């Protein structure tokens, strides 16, 4: 047996390297730490300059309070901070930084140079080169602080090997600057990448103005959240405010949900579920809204000291805070006219401006009621019928016939209504579409007997009577056609280029992945007026191009990410389009159209369920009828 290894105290340098590993994982994290320092120093203007995604250079210049000459060497020591003085202060932290680790860690893994000039003093600078501290030197700079980081990780080959491409890092840095810019409208931000200014927002008084500056046009489609009256009496001092998108504006990821706790940007992940629940069934599965949500609560009810990068925080009353968020979102959407996803024009959308109180008590338009149905498996809300449908109701006839096979519960009236509202487009001309491929399922040849209530087709299929929901079936057929016809996904040149309204983060991602986009059939041009799509897959209509591009750009936020999810995006699109062009309920079909649908039904892989997983048909075996009518001995 070998001797146990003996324990020794690590030297400071090694400890520093270990700590640096957590705080400085990538250039974007350096930018985050430095911006936080500038904000803590009460700056009103912060300029961030990066070269090659920050790998060559990161320079942050602010006009804040500066660092006293004697504090310059100290600022480079671990656990040296001006923001805390004792243990009690930890209980209620009001600054972004407090650990005193950032500068020390950055100085371990790069060449860090700090120049600073507090008001009324001479400028001074100090350098720390991969852990070696230099002397204080005079520096000619304006009031404030300028921090330069170069050669990051050049002495850490292992770390360098795991870094992203510069363009990807640039886009991550844009994310960081944007999220701080959203949190601090009172600070002007400028981001310069490889000598090009890619973001410049002036200091403003109102967060609304800042949102317009960073989010662009989509900010105009966001609505302010408000809590139900009864919430003001609910226990707890926490308060939510902010803006959420109407359900017609969604993203495939939660990346455009910004959560700020007492002015600190935090990871949105822990809030996503409550946000979704607040939207009830208005969001389709896997979709997320765009949102800026501000939580204000007493500093001693949030613990920010749980994670080295402070992205995660702990809340004392987390469930209460989450429920309050859910209630606010639900209340806001209930009192605001909005449209379900995939419907056409957006009407009645109120912009960021606060709404007068009486607007909140709106009568819901028909589609708003019908949007509240389950696409997500949640319990549908009870919906009143708009007008009686021409169906004689006789529930018992269904339940007493034994042997009837319906694959899942029948379509709710609500779901049918959603379909009707989703379908603003023209119904496809059934007779003149290309036939699908060969017969691929074991359905027999079928003969339409009649149409019932202009909604169901009565069909003879060998020894069975089928009752087919014409919309559900047609939707399924269209989905299969759209999804699998490769020609629809081929690039098609657009007669008039489709302009793209992109914010800075999206532009950074676009530039980072332009080649991948080309491979997917998108040709994007940059002109003085901005970006536009000149070529795109044929299936995408002009109006779908921009939302589709927004989704793709979200997927492209990290190297290697996009193409896995492109298939999902295609599904989503085929899904929306299949619903749109399908024949509706209450639409008369002639025999040849019915025959055509039945013929196509044999050529799709899953004929029994529509794209929502609802049944397309109810099967009544002759046997079951015989039994019901007492024909069996």
Nearer to ligand ADP, 2 or 85 (CB): 85
Print the binding letters for residues 88-127 with ligand ADP: x by CB under 6 A, - otherwise.
Answer: ---------xxxxxxxx-----------------------
Strand partners, 242: 293
Residue 65, contacted partner among Mg ion, ligand ADP, none, CB below 5-8 A by kind = ligand ADP
Distances (CA, A) of 529 to 354, 496, 504: 31, 15, 15
The span of 9-17, 59-67, 186-194, 476-484 binding ligand ADP (CB under 6 A) equals 59-67
**Total site size for ligand ADP, rule CB under 6 A:** 22
Which residue ranges make up the site for Mg ion (CB under 5 A)? 37, 97, 102
Give the one entry of Mg ion, ligand ADP, none that residue 171 binds, where binding means its C-beta sits below a cut-off of 5 to 8 angstroms depending on kind.
none
Which C-beta is closer to ligand ADP: that of 97 or that of 340? 97
**Which residues face 289 on adjacent strands?**
250
**Phi/psi zone of residue 277: left (φ > 0), alpha (ψ -120 to 50 degrees), beta?**
alpha
Rounded least distance, CB 80 to ligand ADP, Å: 6
Q: Provide the terminal-to-terminal Cα distance of the chain, rounded to the nearest Å.
A: 86
Only one of the segments 65-73, 248-256, 257-265, 468-476 lies at the binding site for ligand ADP (rule: CB under 6 A); that segment is: 65-73
Q: Which residues pair with 456 in a beta bridge?
A: 452, 469
Closest CB 259 distance from ligand ADP, rounded Å: 22
Sorted by sequence, the CB contacts under 8 Å of residue 36 that are 6+ apart come out as 96, 97, 102, 180
Q: Can you tell me the distance from the alpha carbon of 95 to that of 375, in angstroms, rounded to the nearest whole number? A: 43
Which whole-number Å values give the CA distances from 308 to 21, 99, 108, 199, 616, in the listed order?
A: 10, 8, 16, 28, 53
Q: For residues 174, 179, 180 and 186, what is the CA-based torsion angle, rounded to 10 degrees?
A: 110
156: contact with ligand ADP by CB under 6 A: no
Q: How far is the CB of 495 from Mg ion (least distance, A)?
A: 53
Cβ closest to ligand ADP, residue 48 vs residue 227: 48
Taking the C-alpha atoms of residue 436 and residue 604, their distance in angstroms, rounded to an integer, is: 8
The residue (of 148 and 555) whose beta carbon lies closer to ligand ADP is 148
Q: Which is nearer to ligand ADP, 127 or 510 (CB)?
A: 127
Q: Which of 309, 260, 49 is nearest to 173 (CA)?
A: 49
Token look-up 């920010």 returns 304
Query: Which residue number, 92 or 353, has a Cβ lying nearer to ligand ADP?
Result: 92
Report, in Å, the least distance between residue 130 CB and ligand ADP.
Answer: 17
SS3 state of residue 178: helix
> Which phi and psi angles does 269 have, rounded to 5°?
-45, -50
Cβ 191 to ligand ADP shortest distance, Å:
16
What is the separation of C-alpha 314 from the centre of its chain, rounded to a whole number of angstroms?
Answer: 23
What is the nearest approach in angstroms of ligand ADP to the Cβ of residue 142?
A: 13
Could you give the angle at which helices 27-40 and 166-183 cross, rounded to 10 degrees?
Answer: 20
83 in contact with ligand ADP (CB under 6 A): yes
112 vs 127: CA distance, rounded Å: 6
Give the residue with the Cβ less far from ligand ADP, 144 or 252: 144
Task: Give the residue with the Cβ less far from ligand ADP, 99 or 550.
Answer: 99
Residue 580: left (phi > 0), alpha (psi -120 to 50), or beta? alpha
What is the rounded distance in angstroms from the CA atom of residue 448 to the CA atom of residue 17?
A: 76
**What is the Cα–Cα distance from 598 to 596, expressed in whole angstroms?**
5
Q: For ligand ADP, what does the binding mask look like between residues 250 and 279, x meaning CB under 6 A?
A: ------------------------------
State the residue number with the nearest CB to ligand ADP: 97
Give the pair of three-digit tokens for residue 555: 């997927």
Residue 38: name its binding partner from ligand ADP, Mg ion, none (Cβ under 5 to 8 Å by kind).
ligand ADP
CB 41 to ligand ADP: min, Å: 3
Among residues 49, 62, 238, 551, which is the contact residue for ligand ADP, using CB under 6 A? 62
By the rule CB under 6 A, 30 interacts with ligand ADP: no
- Is 61 an interacting residue with respect to ligand ADP (CB under 6 A)? no
**Cβ at position 37, least distance to ligand ADP in Å:** 3
Which residue from 25, 27, 23 is spatially nearest to 168, judged by alpha carbons? 27
User: Among residues 94 and 613, whose Cβ is nearest to ligand ADP?
Assistant: 94
By CB under 6 A, tell whether 38 contacts ligand ADP.
yes
Binding site for ligand ADP (CB under 6 A): 33, 37-38, 41, 62, 64-67, 75, 81-83, 97-104, 145
């Amino acid at each position: 047996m070998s001797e146990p290894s003996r324990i020794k105290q690590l030297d400071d340098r090694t400890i520093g390297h270990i700590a640096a590993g957590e705080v400085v994982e990538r250039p974007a994290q350096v930018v985050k730490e430095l911006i936080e320092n500038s904000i803590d120093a009460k700056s009103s203007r912060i300029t961030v300059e990066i070269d090659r995604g920050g790998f060559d250079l990161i320079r942050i210049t602010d006009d804040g309070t500066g660092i006293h000459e004697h504090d310059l060497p100290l600022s480079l020591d671990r656990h040296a901070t001006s923001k805390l003085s004792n243990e009690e202060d930890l209980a209620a932290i009001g600054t972004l930084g407090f650990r005193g680790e950032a500068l020390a860690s950055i100085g371990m893994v790069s060449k860090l140079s700090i120049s600073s000039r507090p008001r009324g003093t001479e400028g001074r600078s100090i350098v720390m080169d991969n852990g070696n501290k230099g002397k204080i030197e005079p520096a000619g700079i304006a009031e404030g602080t300028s921090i330069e980081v170069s050669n990051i990780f050049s002495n850490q080959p292992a770390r360098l090997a795991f870094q992203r491409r510069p363009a990807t890092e640039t886009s991550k840095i844009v994310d960081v600057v944007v999220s701080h810019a959203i949190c601090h409208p009172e600070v002007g931000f400028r981001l310069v990448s490889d000598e090009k200014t890619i973001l410049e927002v002036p200091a403003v008084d109102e967060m609304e103005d800042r949102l317009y500056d960073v989010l662009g046009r989509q900010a105009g489609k966001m609505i302010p959240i408000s809590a139900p009256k009864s919430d003001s009496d609910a226990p707890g001092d926490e308060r939510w405010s902010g803006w959420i998108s109407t359900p017609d504006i969604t993203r495939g990821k939660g990346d455009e949900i910004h959560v700020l706790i007492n002015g600190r940007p935090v990871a949105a992940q822990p809030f996503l579920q409550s946000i979704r629940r607040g939207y009830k069934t208005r969001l389709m599965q896997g979709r997320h809204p765009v949102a800026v949500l501000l939580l204000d609560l007493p500093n001693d009810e949030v613990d920010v000291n749980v994670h080295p990068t402070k992205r995660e925080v702990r809340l004392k009353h987390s469930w209460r805070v989450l429920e309050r968020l859910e209630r606010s979102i639900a209340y806001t959407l209930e009192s605001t006219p909005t449209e379900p996803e995939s419907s056409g024009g957006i009407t009645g959308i109120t912009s960021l401006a606060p709404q007068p109180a009486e607007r909140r008590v709106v009568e819901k338009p028909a589609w708003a009621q019908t949007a509240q149905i389950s696409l997500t498996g949640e319990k549908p809300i009870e919906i009143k019928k708009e007008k009686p449908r021409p169906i004689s109701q006789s529930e018992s006839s269904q339940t007493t016939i034994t042997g009837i096979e319906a694959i899942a519960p029948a379509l709710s009236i609500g779901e049918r209504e959603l379909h009707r509202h989703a379908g603003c487009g023209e119904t496809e001309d059934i007779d003149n579409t290309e036939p699908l491929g060969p017969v691929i399922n074991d359905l027999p040849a079928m003969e339409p007997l009649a149409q019932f209530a202009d909604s169901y087709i009565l069909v003879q299929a060998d020894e069975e009577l089928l009752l087919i929901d014409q919309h559900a079936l047609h939707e399924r057929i269209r989905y299969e056609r759209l999804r699998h016809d490769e020609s629809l996904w081929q690039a098609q040149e657009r007669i008039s280029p489709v302009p793209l309204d992109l914010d800075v983060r999206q532009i950074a991602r676009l530039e980072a992945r332009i080649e991948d986009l080309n491979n997917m059939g998108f040709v994007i041009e940059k002109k003085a007026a901005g970006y536009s799509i000149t070529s795109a897959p044929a299936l995408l209509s002009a109006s779908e191009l921009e939302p589709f591009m927004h989704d793709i750009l979200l997927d492209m936020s990290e190297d290697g990410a996009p193409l896995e999810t492109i298939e999902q995006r295609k599904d989503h699109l085929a899904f929306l389009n299949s619903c749109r062009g399908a024949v509706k309920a209450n639409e008369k079909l002639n025999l040849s159209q019915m025959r055509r649908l039945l013929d196509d039904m044999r050529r799709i892989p899953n004929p029994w369920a529509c794209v929502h997983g609802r049944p397309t048909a109810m099967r009544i075996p002759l046997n079951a009828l015989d039994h019901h009518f007492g024909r069996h001995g």
